Amino acid sequence: MSNEKNIDIQELKKTYKITESLAKLDEDLIGLDSVKQRITEITAILFMDKIRQDFGLSKYYPGLHMSFTGSPGTGKSTVASRMSELLQNLGYLTRGHLIVASRDDLVAQFVGQTAPKTKEVLEKAMGGVLLIDEAYYLYKPNNEKDYGGEAIEMLLQVMENKRTDLVLIFAGYSEPMKTFYRSNPGLSSRVAHHIDFPDYSREELIQIAQKLFQERQYQMTFYAQEVFIKYLDLRRQLPLFANARSIKNIVNRACFRLASRVMTQTSTFTYKSLIDINASDLILSTLFLKGLRIFPMTKIKSFEENGENRYIFQAFNSANTTLDAESYFDSNTVGKQLPLFTWKSFV
């Protein structure tokens, strides 16, 4: 092509669906600004390479193999999926699908079985992206009978010989991955892009929960939001917290509890009864069982406010001393005793 011809970048972006793919990534993931910036930079390199080819310049095939490091539930699989789509749209991959594998999918326990297992996974992933989760488990230097080294050798061959047909992404915790690469310099030299996925902040985790509830067409009541924040602060302090994955689990369990509660306690279905996640749907988590105190509440007053029927319930402890009143808006609770949950030992 003549070097005098101009190319409309915006039109070319539409052709390769770049803006669409990056917007989808931004929509899928809350936060992770540093990760999104790195993906945008990688996309820019690949996009520029395509434009250079259109001008008749020599083709430069950039390295595409990647390393994703960070805690569980920080969006590594989601980013890998969007990356596979981008690479397909730009013509670097023929299929653009994502295959997720772990050590168990690649390494066998007996001699002669690892090569067929690894080959089968590689064939399934060909033309797309292969994400190997907790990749450091492939390497066990102190075990002479371990066959992880055989799988690594096969991966090295594919990374070099099939780099136009397959992109490998190695994922796992940051520190073990550093040890993994130091022990396997051949792998490290073939990984062009190292991207670290930070843990989500407290505010971002709250946004993720709200988004998940909205996607399922549920909403947290005022008191449920308070309980969720309490749950989140406690859960983040415990081992094995998995960021967005843990948030997804509590959202799912809250929806299950709502369904059970409505089926057993409600005689008539209303729109609000089907969408409102209340405090009890969250506080019944096992996380709150230790130190939880429950008191019965009785309706003492009702009035109208902003077109809503509002009900005040009073709770009494075992000494018949009045506790703080709680306000509820759900008309289905009229005439019933409700539990008042407190968690003073957690404050």
pLDDT in tens, 199-227: 999 999 999 999 999 999 999 998 889 88
pLDDT for the residue 9:
79
pLDDT for the residue 109:
83
pLDDT for the residue 325:
39
Give the residues of the chain that fall short of pLDDT 70.
1-5, 59-61, 144, 266, 289-301, 303, 305-347
222 & 323 share domain: yes
pLDDT for the residue 316:
54
Q: CA-CA distance, 252 to 248, in Å (whole number)? A: 6
92 & 21 share domain: yes
Expressed as residue numbers, the domain containing 53 is 9-197
pLDDT for the residue 48:
87
The two tokens of residue 309 are: 């029927």
246 & 266 share domain: yes
66 & 87 share domain: yes
171 & 240 share domain: no
117 & 211 share domain: no
pLDDT for the residue 339:
46
pLDDT for the residue 57:
80
Asked if the structure places residue 185 within a domain, the reply is: yes
pLDDT for the residue 11:
80
**Total structural domains in the chain?**
2
Buried b (16+ CB within 10 A) or exposed e, 106-143: bbbeeeeebeebbeebbeebbbbbbbbbbbbbbbeeee
pLDDT for the residue 323:
43
Alpha helices in the chain (DSSP H): 9-15, 18-28, 33-54, 76-89, 103-106, 114-125, 148-161, 174-183, 185-190, 202-215, 222-235, 244-265, 271-275, 279-283
Asked if the structure places residue 1 within a domain, the reply is: no
Residue type, 270: T
pLDDT for the residue 54:
74
pLDDT for the residue 62:
72
Q: What is the DSSP letter of 201?
A: P
The string of pLDDT tens digits covering residues 118-130 is 999 999 999 999 9
pLDDT for the residue 285:
77
pLDDT for the residue 287:
74
Q: Which of 333, 332, 208, 227 is nearest to 284 (CA)?
A: 227
Asked if the structure places residue 209 within a domain, the reply is: yes
pLDDT for the residue 21:
87
Asked if the structure places residue 2 within a domain, the reply is: no
Q: Which of 18, 20, 79 is nearest to 49 (CA)?
A: 18
Instruction: Sheet with 129-132: list strands edge to edge.
Output: 98-101, 129-132, 167-172, 66-70, 193-197
What are the φ and ψ backbone dihedral angles of 86, each rounded to 5 degrees?
A: -60, -45
